[in-house]
Amino acid sequence: MRETVYYQRGMPDPIYDENFIMDIVHCHVPKARALTNIDETGGEARTYTIDDKIILKVQRPQQLRSMTSLEKEVFFLNQLEKQTDVHVPRVLGYGKEGALEYICMTKIQGIKAENIKLTANEKTSLLYILGKELRKIHGIDQTSLLNSGLFPCDDPPDLKERIKRRYQNALLKKKDSYGPGKMESISASIENELENINDTGLFVGLHVNPYICHILVDEKTHQYSGLIDFGDAYIGHPIFDMWYWKIKSRKKLMDGYTFEQPVNTAFQIIFDMLNAVSQLVILEEK
């Protein structure tokens, strides 16, 4: 499996002035008027909002890493625009200005789901719609993604290895309360569950983290607005766009995912196995 590598940790990370930002934006949106906000909450990127409807997303130099790529994000977003009706940003332009790499794109209106308190019904609705959106994202023609050379690809053994690492790490955090005997028993049970996977099924382009930090909702209605930040995308099993949620939420997500058609047997086995392993570890998932 690939490890994350940061290439240039010591690089300066300037916040650019409005004139510089607007010069870039005007190359793609000539009638843009003014910088209205700068968002510092992103990890690998910083975003500049223009007229409250355009986003200029820039790569933060010291956060440049092996798994994140704005060029890859642009490619993925363009493919989603061509092939689906999912609610994601629309690319208006991409390029480099000196050492600065950027995407100019439309802004998805709303606030991050992590910043509001959803009722039970609102959360169920959100999960259902997100499930439908993920099915469309996973259902696009994968040929263009594979041929682009931009997307890292998992091999079949990586599926089990990713799951094993996640839950072994979770177990280590509980070692003081579980004790060595129980730890060994749970680890053995996890290995047994993983042995149920004989067919890894189809690997697809993944968002990687379609969780509340990347889901936008309407501030008043709390209804789903869209999904952002595709820069960490890779080609792997669809289950890894679901595993951040607790078991109960994951099942609601699956209801939306299978709204139009069921998943195949291989996918269902992996989905059930992941839930079984989560239950074994009693993991406090996100």
Alpha helices in 106-240 (DSSP H): 120-138, 143-148, 156-173, 175-194
User: Is the residue at 81 inside a domain?
Assistant: yes
CA distance 266 to 273: 11
32: containing domain: 18-106
* Residue 81 and residue 147 share a domain: no
Which has the closest alpha carbon to 223: 127, 92, 81, 93?
127
Output the domain CATH number for residue 222: 3.90.1200.10
Residue 251 has pLDDT above 60, yes or no: yes
Q: pTM value?
A: 0.91
So what's the pLDDT on residue 286?
40
Q: Are residues 75 and 186 in the same domain?
A: no
Q: Are 218 and 270 in the same domain?
A: yes
Domain assignment present for 55: yes
Number of domains the chain is built from: 2
Q: Are residues 41 and 146 in the same domain?
A: no
Amino acid in position 76 = F
- Residues 117-130 have pLDDT tens digits of 999 999 999 999 99
- Residue 153 dihedral angles phi and psi, to the nearest 5°: -120, 130
Report whether pLDDT(6) > 80.
no
Three-state SS letters, 149-186 = CCCCECCHHHHHHHHHHHHHHHHHHCHHHHHHHHHHHH
Over 70: is that where the pLDDT of 98 sits? yes
Could you tell me if residue 6 is inside a domain? Answer: no
CATH number, position 61: 3.30.200.20
pLDDT given for residue 4 in this prediction: 65
Q: Indicate if 169 and 257 belong to the same structural domain.
A: yes
The verdict on 247 and 117 lying in the same domain is yes
